[in-house]
Amino acid sequence: MLVSDNIEVLELYLQCVYKDAVPDLAVIIPPETSRPHQKVFVLLVHLYSLCDMLQDPETANLVIDEFIDFSARI
């Protein structure tokens, strides 16, 4: 599956561009999800890949910052 085919990642990208920040993914993912931390990291990887594909370094940097912040929280 291509990253650009994932509507969830596209929605996250648009939120990042519009708000100039990555939304809190821990809130978006339902608590009953198995391995929620893994889901957050997968979304961040896909989001970063989309930023790279679109050649958007500003948003890619936001995603990297979120990787670091989220890693520190878990």
Whether the pTM exceeds 0.85: the reply is no
pLDDT digit string, tens, across residues 12-60? 999 999 999 998 877 777 767 777 788 888 899 999 999 999 999 999 9
Quick check: 2 pLDDT over 60? no
Which residue blocks in 20-73 are alpha helix, DSSP H?
A: 25-28, 36-53, 57-73
What pLDDT, on the 0 to 100 scale, is given for residue 4?
A: 55
- Decide if 11 contacts 42 (C-beta within 8 A): no
Q: For residue 35, what are its two tokens? A: 């391995």
Q: What is the spatial distance between Cα 46 and Cα 52, in angstroms, rounded to a whole number?
A: 10
What pLDDT, on the 0 to 100 scale, is given for residue 74?
A: 74
Instruction: Name residue 23's amino acid.
Output: P
Residue 57: how many other CB atoms lie within 10 Å? 10
